[in-house]
Amino acid sequence: MMKPSPVDLIRHTAQQALSAAETLLPEWFPNGSRKGREWVAANIARGDRQAGSFGVSLDSGRWNDFADDSVHGGDLVSLLAYLRGCGQMDAAKEIDERLRLGLFNLTTADAQLFHERRRQVDQERESWRLREQQRQEDKKRDAARHASQLWKMAKPAYPLHTYLLAKRVHPYLLRQSGQGRLLVPLCDEGRLVNLQIITPDGGKRFLKDGRVQGCYSPLGKLSEGCRLYVCEGWATGATLHQNTGSPVVCAMNAGNLKPVALAMRERYGATLDLVIAGDDDRDTGGNPGKRAANQAARAADARVVFPEWPDDAPAHLSDFNDLHLWLAGQSKESRKV
């Protein structure tokens, strides 16, 4: 029986590696994630900070970096060789040792070499992770300082601002900078960490690199055992505060409802009457607003409420401010009659 050639061994190793792709790829790219039938990750070989351009097919093993046409390959052996900066035979031997395939007559020295190589890569990856974590924290601190500077220079929001008139709400804590931009404060444990900037036409953006996850914009004063509403957008929160008198914290988006609700529950305890005032995205498949609100309520042991729509309310309306505006319009029409 003929001994397999090096090419045959590499090819067979690549086939076995593909069968174990969902085990190997998370080890090689621990910060990646599965999207459909592809593993998407940052290209750790060149120190990318974010996933997005580098992908590996779970079906074929083909991989490529869309940001660099020269970085591509047809199987997982060539991928590991690229990541390790070694030849394909050494990469195949490392996979063989990891999966215990027994395709190569590996010596104890071979195994030690692969373990040492993996240890060095893990150390480099951890060092990069810590540097990146520090870099992100520095950027968030810079954004918080920028937010504080903008906030101090701004004036109280003009009650007749175009956006406030369109939403039929009071300015409350909002401030206003040049060019008619409204500043919505985002806080973490009472400390200003970011701003949402709203232009007169309703355009919205956060400060670059500023924190959003777990942060909130407050309306009203909390007291022990009070009722606290958690909602998505600021205009929705202003509507709730205006109509109930209860304090509100605005999570700014559906994905942030749960982190904010949990933070409120942890900070103010079991006596807090926590209510998630969710968006009802009736016109969107899967109703993401209602789903996120229910998840937040379950996680934080809170109640949940949604707008109660009259039978003739248009389906595209979704939040409490939408309901507020529509009812105001209906009242205006009835007075005309």
Confidence grade of residue 210 (pLDDT, cut at 50, 70, 90): very high
Centre a 10 Å sphere on the Cβ of residue 29 and count the other Cβ atoms it contains.
Answer: 21
CB contact set of 241 (below 8 Å; sequence gap of 6+)? 172, 219, 220, 229, 247, 248
Give pLDDT tens digits for 115-162: 787 788 778 777 877 887 888 899 999 999 999 999 999 999 999 999
Task: Look at the pTM and tell me if it is higher than 0.85.
Answer: no
% of the chain residues with pLDDT over 90: 67
Measure the CA–CA gap between 240 and 329, rounded to whole angstroms: 18
Q: Beginning with the edge strand found earlier in the chain, give each strand of the sheet holding 182-188 in spatial order.
A: 155-156, 175-176, 182-188, 191-198, 204-206
User: Residue 213's closest CA among 260, 274, 166, 168?
Assistant: 260
Residue 47, pLDDT score: 60
Give pLDDT tens digits for 70-107: 888 999 999 999 988 889 998 999 899 889 888 888 77
Fold designation for 212-337:
Dna Topoisomerase Vi A Subunit; Chain: A, domain 2 (3.40.1360)
Residue 337, pLDDT score: 45
Contacts of the segment 242-250: beta carbons below 8 A, 24+ positions apart? 242/169, 242/170, 243/324, 245/220, 246/220, 247/218, 247/219, 247/220, 247/221, 247/222, 248/218, 248/219, 248/220, 248/277, 249/216, 249/217, 249/218, 249/219, 250/184, 250/216, 250/217, 250/218, 250/219
Average pLDDT rounded to a whole number, residues 53-59: 90
Average pLDDT rounded to a whole number, residues 295-316: 95
Beta bridge partners of residue 218, listed in sequence order:
249
- Alpha-carbon separation of residue 114 from 90, 93, 109, 144, 263 (angstroms): 9, 8, 9, 45, 44
Largest CA distance in the chain: 97
Confidence grade of residue 22 (pLDDT, cut at 50, 70, 90): very high
% of the chain residues with pLDDT over 70: 95
- Amino acid identity for residue 298 in this structure: R
Q: Is the pLDDT of residue 335 over 60?
A: no
Phi, psi of 172 (to 5 degrees): 50, -125
Fold designation for 6-106:
DNA Primase; Chain A (3.90.580)
Residue 53, pLDDT score: 77
Q: Is the pLDDT of residue 1 over 70?
A: no
Same fold for the pair 6-106 and 212-337: no
Confidence grade of residue 67 (pLDDT, cut at 50, 70, 90): confident
Give residue limits of the domains in the chain: 6-106, 212-337
Residue 115, pLDDT score: 75
Residue 116, pLDDT score: 81
